[in-house]
Amino acid sequence: MAAKKKAAKKPVRRKAARAKVRPKRKKPETLRLREGVAGLTVNDIARSIAWYRDILGWTVGEEWRDQGQLMGAEMVAGKISLYLGQDDWKKGRDRRKGEGLRLYFRTAQNVDALAALIKGRGGVLDHDPKEEPWGERDFGITDPDGFKITISNTR
């Protein structure tokens, strides 16, 4: 005689209990974003791609071309992307880039080792790794168009 199969137990749903823990959303609701990407307009797209790839160690994601001409690229480092776009010069060739902007990136990697690696690849740091008053260790570097970058650890 065949043994009877026991019915699978249904999971107990605790939706009501979870709802009580969740805080009420503000009205009107605040902005909630899931991703972000900075787009930088550069003077020489090939030079910028090479700098981010060969000096900092980013990888090239997508490339954007117009009639075969390279116009931009996505640079990827871990979960972070940067979009680099070739300047079309509509605002003039003497337009200064990078003023008033600093990009801050955090990593679980050793920032002293990263700084040494970047220097070994020919990068020139704005400041060597240092301990900040708020507890992070960071270093700074400036890209070919004047965009300031700070890379710190994630204590």
Q: Where are the domains of the chain?
A: 37-87+98-153
In this structure, the dihedral spanned by the alpha carbons of residues 102, 107, 113 and 116, taken in order and rounded to 10 degrees, is -20
Q: Look-up: residue for tokens 């060597």? A: 128
Predicted confidence at residue 12, as pLDDT, reads 59
- Class of domain 37-87+98-153 (CATH, top level): alpha beta
pLDDT at 155: 67
Q: Kindly report, residue by residue over 38-83, the tens digit of the pLDDT.
A: 999 999 999 999 999 999 999 999 999 999 999 999 999 999 999 9
Number of CB atoms found within 10 A of residue 57's CB:
13
Tell me, what's the pLDDT at 13?
Answer: 60
Q: What is the Cβ-side half-sphere exposure of residue 97, based on CA atoms within 13 angstroms?
A: 21
- Ranking 7-16, 39-48, 64-73, 146-155 by mean pLDDT, the lowest is 7-16
Local confidence band at 28 (pLDDT 50, 70, 90 cut-offs): confident
Instruction: Tell me the C-alpha distance between 114 and 55, whole Å.
Output: 11
Mean pLDDT value of segment 82-106: 91
- How many angstroms separate the CA atoms of 66 and 40, rounded? 18
